């Protein structure tokens, strides 16, 4: 399995001495959904921002497709797509106009952009609302548009930060199906969440972060075996409470 993302000994320390991330390392390969798990405040968002080149870090190294994300930040950004909790749609635009705008920012040609919009409209089941103003969208519609916007340039590394938060069952399933499709198409998918049900269902491997530190890093099945627990939620609770594997 080719490694698409490598995080080595990542440290983010602020001027007051607080370490939001403390010596975290992991790798994510092509065709893999990798879970970045932890309670609120664990350091997940800090890690995502560092990978995305929008936050400097104190120590360590991050590589995307073999490129150092500090030295080659622009190239790295062209190869990653990030869905954050900030949906950020332009409400006076239609869904299609939103995607056209962001596609043009990435330098896609008109023909490639039209093809990509059609593909994403089908994958994310947006046909019923893609030509409507985003101001009229439900939360689920906005989330699907946000996913399409974040991957309009067809990146090889895709980061989802709490993508099913606040969604109904049908919208959540659409998001999960899209992540599975991304894995099948050879993308590296990083799934940051504190919802263990989704992580157990989707992730090939996970890292559990607590108070900025790595406390577990393995496949879901191996972690179940090591802890003697039957589901990922119980594994998570046992590890976060400090009982270890």
Mean pLDDT confidence for 155-170:
88
Pairing of strands 67-68, 59-64: antiparallel
Least confident of 62-66, 116-120, 210-214, 238-242: 238-242
Q: What percent of the chain has pLDDT over 70?
A: 98
Q: What digits encode the pLDDT tens for the residues 190-205?
A: 999 988 888 999 999 9
The answer to whether 196 touches 233, Cβ cutoff 8 Å, is: yes
Smallest CA-to-CA distance from 148 within 213, 195, 93 is with 93
Smallest CA-to-CA distance from 62 within 24, 118, 110, 17 is with 24
Smallest CA-to-CA distance from 60 within 48, 230, 224, 68 is with 68
Higher pLDDT, 167 or 230: 230
Smallest CA-to-CA distance from 144 within 114, 177, 111, 113 is with 177
Please give the pLDDT value at position 4: 98
The answer to whether 204 touches 223, Cβ cutoff 8 Å, is: no
The answer to whether 51 touches 62, Cβ cutoff 8 Å, is: yes
Mean pLDDT confidence for 31-50:
94
Please give the pLDDT value at position 87: 63
CA distance 100 to 217: 39
CA distance 61 to 104: 31
CA distance 137 to 232: 34
CA distance 33 to 60: 23
Confidence of residue 44 (pLDDT cuts 50, 70, 90): very high
Please give the pLDDT value at position 66: 96
Higher pLDDT, 186 or 41: 186
How distant, in Å, are the alpha carbons of 39, 95, 219, 230, 233 from that of 210?
7, 38, 18, 21, 14
**pLDDT higher than threshold 80 for residue 6:** yes
Give the DSSP H/E element, type plus range, for residue 158.
Answer: strand 157-161
Confidence of residue 43 (pLDDT cuts 50, 70, 90): very high
CA distance 74 to 80: 10
pTM of this prediction?
0.92
Please give the pLDDT value at position 80: 96
Average pLDDT, the chain: 93
Domain 1-79+158-245: which CATH number of 3.40.50.2300, 3.40.50.300, 3.40.50.150, 3.90.400.10: 3.40.50.300
CA distance 239 to 245: 7
Q: How many whole angstroms from its chain centre is CA 207?
A: 13
Locate the domains of the chain by residue range.
Answer: 1-79+158-245, 87-154
Mean pLDDT confidence for 166-191:
91
Please give the pLDDT value at position 88: 72
Rg (alpha carbons) of the chain, rounded to whole number: 18
Mean pLDDT confidence for 70-83:
94
Provide the 8-state DSSP code for 33: E
Please give the pLDDT value at position 171: 83
Mean pLDDT confidence for 82-92:
81
Q: What digits encode the pLDDT tens for the residues 194-244?
A: 888 889 999 999 999 999 999 999 999 999 999 999 999 999 999 988 755
Bridge partners for 22 per DSSP: 11
CA distance 25 to 76: 19
**pLDDT higher than threshold 60 for residue 67:** yes
């Amino acid at each position: 399995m080719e490694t698409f993302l490598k995080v080595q000994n990542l440290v983010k320390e602020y001027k007051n001495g607080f370490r939001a991330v403390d010596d975290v390392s992991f790798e994510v390969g092509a065709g893999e959904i990798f879970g970045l798990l932890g309670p609120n405040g664990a350091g997940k968002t800090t890690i995502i921002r560092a990978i995305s080149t929008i936050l400097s870090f104190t120590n360590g190294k991050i590589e995307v497709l073999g490129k150092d994300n500090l030295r080659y930040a622009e190239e790295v950004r062209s190869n990653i797509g990030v869905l954050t909790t900030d949906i950020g749609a332009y409400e006076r635009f239609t869904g299609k106009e939103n995607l056209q705008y962001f596609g043009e920012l990435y330098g896609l040609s008109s023909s490639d952009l039209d093809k990509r919009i059609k593909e994403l409209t089908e994958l994310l089941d947006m046909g019923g609302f893609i030509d409507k103003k985003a101001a009229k969208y439900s939360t689920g519609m906005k989330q699907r548009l946000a996913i399409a916007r974040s991957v309009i340039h067809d990146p090889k590394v895709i980061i989802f930060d709490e993508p099913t938060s606040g969604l109904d069952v049908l919208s959540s399933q659409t998001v999960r199906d899209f992540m599975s499709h991304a894995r099948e198409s050879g993308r590296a998918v990083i799934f940051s969440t504190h919802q263990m049900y989704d992580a157990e269902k989707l992730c090939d491997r996970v890292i559990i972060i607590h108070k900025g530190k790595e406390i577990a890093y393995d496949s879901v099945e191996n972690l179940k075996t090591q802890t003697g627990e039957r589901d990922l939620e119980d594994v998570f609770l046992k590890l976060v409470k400090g009982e270890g594997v």
